[in-house]
Amino acid sequence: MARYLGKETPRVDGVAKVTGKAKYTAEFQVPHVAYGFLVLSTVAKGRITAIDTRAAEQAAGVIRVFTHLNAGRLGKAPAPGEPPQWSWPLQSDRVFFNGQPIALVVAETYEQARHASRLVKVSYQAERHVTDLEAVLDRAVTDPKNGAKPPRGNPSAAMKAAAVKVEAEYRIPIEHHNPIEPHAAIAFWEGGQLTIFDKTQNVYGVRQHLAEGLGIPADNIRVVSPFVGGAFGASLKPNYYPSLTALAARELRRPVKVVYTRAQMFTGHGYRPCTVQKVALGADRRGKLSAMIHEAFHNTSSFESFSDNTTGFIRQVYACPNLHAPLKVAATDLATPTWMRAPGAVSGMFALESAMDELAYALKIDPLELRLINYAEVDPESGKPFSSKALRECYRLGAEKFGWKHRNPEPRSMRDGHLLVGWGMASSVWGAFQQPASARVTYRADGTASVASATSDIGPGTYTVMTMIAAEFLGLELNQVKFELGDTRHPQAPAQGGSWTTSSVGSAVRGAALAIAARLLDLAQRDADSPMRDVQAADVEMLDGRLRLKSDPSRSVDIAGLMRRTATNEITAVHDSKPSPEREKFASLAHGAQFVEVMVDPDLGTVKVTRVIEITACGKILNPLASHSQEIGGVVWGIGMALEDATEIDHRYGRIMNASLQHYHVPVNADIHAIETIFVEEDDTIVNPLGVKGMGELGMVGIPAAIANAVYHATGRRIRDLPITPDKLL
């Protein structure tokens, strides 16, 4: 009987967060700290011909102004004749995007640094730039890693022969992560040893990046990041400011702190790329898909090729013998995009699930029925069986809860007084990933335990779920376990992203706890008359201070007494977990279904999402309280993506025009109405020992498509270009 796993558990770090005890990066107190403020370029492409820092250097409190002329080396110098690349800040006079850092002013106070940053005068030789993806589509190249898979079957011949076909183009603008906590770093040196506090999803990744940039051994660097106030992918790759902060601290021989302003965040950490997708679906009259051709294009930067694998998951969604899903990326004069919650999947599924809705109307088949007709019983890509797949049950339960059978399929046929009512649905998919991870557990004779792994907690509740897993397998109360994360002094863990933390780090914590039980059994078996002789480690469990036989709890030993008798103060175990070879025989995915109601004002074109039912199948649910919260958050973000999110760029200057939370719209409480999240649990012993699959990304994947489909049902207007703003409906 599980004591914690599967039960609603409040956050163990909740009190620290609401009382201000939890320290975020910029809040660490370091004596004698100096403050850095960034100066950003105002042209999108070209070179700096002159940079005048005299007035800034003479301003009150200024210690130094770093530019490409005096900053010192970061990373490897480009080989002779090679063009300078923008992977490290302040390394050349080249400008690759508007908003690129070109100087760092360091002063005694933040205000002094900020004031002096405005006194830096820069002259440029500007070059012609392109920031509009549409203008460079013809220059897009196939992404070698994600976009070059050969076609399945013969899609073009099947498309020609299809009885019914739909073809459409779908567009998603650039979108920005806007976490509450701005990115920040504080760096200080003690001899050759660097300690840096950084807002990151991957402390080991930042350590490696800084070792390369600063040319010092990774072992000389400690990266600390105990709390992250939201990141959503914006801190997966090392950003440019930690290396700059560490460089300044080394040069000045004192601690330096750099914090982004909200506007600086828009060019400081990547974004969801601008995407154009061309989708063609072919089917017979009964609705069986015979061909899917799904071409995606998105932008990258001029100096780095990035891909979010837009068409990766769509290959595994429907049973269709003929499919081609290429992805091409085109260089633009903008900063490099990055992963943003549900990267690739939410973009690809917006196009595919909108097209499926269009096909349903062309065939006069219910959209849910069309999905069931094309349900994939095995992975259409590899032919492997699924380790588990409860999507059919998600559809059934969602339709029943939502009242889908009462839907009149005719657009503009349903009303609530003056308002048009629309019902739409979509499917979602995400991987059930597991990465290698390591955790350390120390069990003490007083019945307390410390657990550590260098993972992150960007908000999903990692502190809590790891504490639950450790307490479960050590047989302790939650308050007897202390879990620590976000420090390169802890065992290595993967970046927190991809919804793989619980499966990866959780499996390592479980493994380390079981290793403690095995060590205790070993101690117990040294007694000749032990009730534990002839027992295997797999047959015992720890509970309430006793090591006992699972099949016969009366056979047990008191752990504290055992440790006293054997003069053992504490036992430490480190466990490395990795995916089992068994997984290779199966396809493992998490699935879900979304049913959405919208109300549209026909005079104003305003859309309100009045009701959402989200059904999710992602293995075992370890903490339902946090899990429902994760899914609600995903739905809210999906509503934002469908109706509000858009980064506006003035292509004349390559400049972002709405780099603020005043002008970049995200959902507020008034935008959010009834959201119900339901889990269909799967018993999957193949994905990992805990049976969990990812859910953090999955929650938003189908939402934008479901909303767009509901808007069509309400209005008869098919909006293929996000966000769905009132002007597009009038």
Residues 6+ positions from 638 with CB-CB distance below 8 Å: 346, 594, 699, 700, 701, 702, 703, 704, 706, 707
Q: Report the percent of the chain where pLDDT is more than 70.
A: 100
Residue written as tokens 């504080």? 186
pLDDT for 147: 77
Digit-coded pLDDT (tens) for 117-138: 999 999 999 999 999 999 999 9
What is residue 26's DSSP assignment? G
The dihedrals phi and psi of 238, each to the nearest 5 degrees, come to -60, 135
pLDDT of residue 79 exceeding 90, the answer is: no
Which one is predicted more confidently, 78 or 611? Answer: 611
Return the SS3 of 354.
helix
Locus of tokens 């063009």: 83
Task: Give the residue-averaged pLDDT of 722-727.
Answer: 98
String of DSSP letters for 212-247: HHHTS-GGGEEEE-S--S--TTTTSS--SHHHHHHH
Q: Where are the domains of the chain?
A: 275-433+584-729, 435-578
Q: Is 435-578 in the same CATH topology as 275-433+584-729?
A: yes
pLDDT in tens, 154-182: 999 999 999 999 999 999 999 999 999 99
Does residue 1 surpass a pLDDT of 70?
A: no
In this prediction, residue 65 carries a pLDDT of 98
Tell me how far CA of residue 353 lies from CA of 157, 252, 274, 701, in angstroms: 23, 55, 19, 10
Determine how β-strand 449-452 pairs with β-strand 481-484.
parallel
Strands 164-172 and 275-283 turn out to be: antiparallel
Q: Give me the CATH code for the 435-578 domain, please.
A: 3.30.365.10
Give the span between the Cα atoms of 103 and 90, in whole angstroms.
7
15 within 8 A of 489, measured Cβ to Cβ: no
Determine the Cα–Cα distance for residues 88 and 241; give it in Å rounded to an integer. 9
Query: Does residue 150 have a pLDDT over 80?
Result: yes
Residues 6+ apart with CB under 8 A from 514: 473, 537, 575
Helix 241-252, helix 203-214: angle, nearest 10: 50
- What does the block give as tokens for 482? 């202390």
3-state secondary structure of 692: strand
Q: What is the pLDDT of residue 653?
A: 98
Tell me the CA distances in angstroms from 296 to 130, 141, 169, 192, one per residue in order. 20, 11, 10, 47
Q: Are 718 and 351 in contact (CB under 8 A)?
A: no
CA distance 250 to 253: 5
So which residues are the catalytic ones? 697
Q: Output the pLDDT for position 144.
A: 86
* Placement of tokens 């049973």 in the chain: 319
pLDDT above 90 for 449: yes
Q: Is the dihedral of CA 207, 208, 213, 216 positive or negative?
A: positive
Give the separation between CA 388 and CA 588, rounded to whole angstroms. 7
Q: Report the C-alpha gap between 494 and 508 in whole angstroms.
A: 12
- Give the full edge-to-edge strand order of the sheet including 674-679: 415-416, 419-431, 589-600, 607-617, 674-679
DSSP letters, 577-643, are: E---GGGGGSB-EEEEEEEEEEEE-TTT--EEEEEEEEEEE-B--S-HHHHHHHHHHHHHHHHHHHH
Closest CA to 25 of 295, 230, 309, 189: 230
CB-based contact 429:701 (threshold 8 Å): yes
The pLDDT of 377-397, averaged and rounded, is 98
pLDDT per position as a tens digit, 637-652: 999 999 999 999 999 9
Rounded distance between C-alpha atoms, residue 452 and residue 164, angstroms = 57
Tell me the residue type at 166. V
CATH number among 3.30.365.10, 3.40.50.300, 3.40.50.1700, 3.30.70.270, domain 275-433+584-729: 3.30.365.10
Residue type, 637: W
Residue 2 has pLDDT above 80, yes or no: no
Q: How far apart are CA 496 and CA 453, in angstroms?
A: 12
Q: Residue 708 carries which DSSP code? A: H
Q: What are the tokens at 690? A: 């805990």
**DSSP code for 418:** T
Residue 145, pLDDT score: 85
Q: What is the pLDDT of residues 503-528, one digit of tens each?
A: 999 999 999 999 999 999 999 999 88
Q: Are 687 and 583 in contact (CB under 8 A)?
A: yes
pLDDT at residue 77, as a whole number: 83
Amino acid at 673: H
- Is the preceding omega at residue 78 within 30 degrees of 0, hence cis? no
Q: What is the pLDDT of residues 224-249, one digit of tens each?
A: 999 999 999 999 999 999 999 999 99
* Higher pLDDT pick, 233 / 81: 233
Token digits for 443? 């069990």
**What does pTM read for this prediction?**
0.97
Q: What mean pLDDT value characterizes the chain? A: 97
Cα-to-chain-centroid distance, residue 617: 19
* Phi and psi torsions of 217, nearest 5°: -65, 145
Contact (CB, 8 A) for 183 and 199? yes
CA-CA-CA-CA dihedral for 300, 229, 635, 637, to nearest 10:
-40
Given a cut of 80, whether residue 335 has pLDDT beyond it is: yes
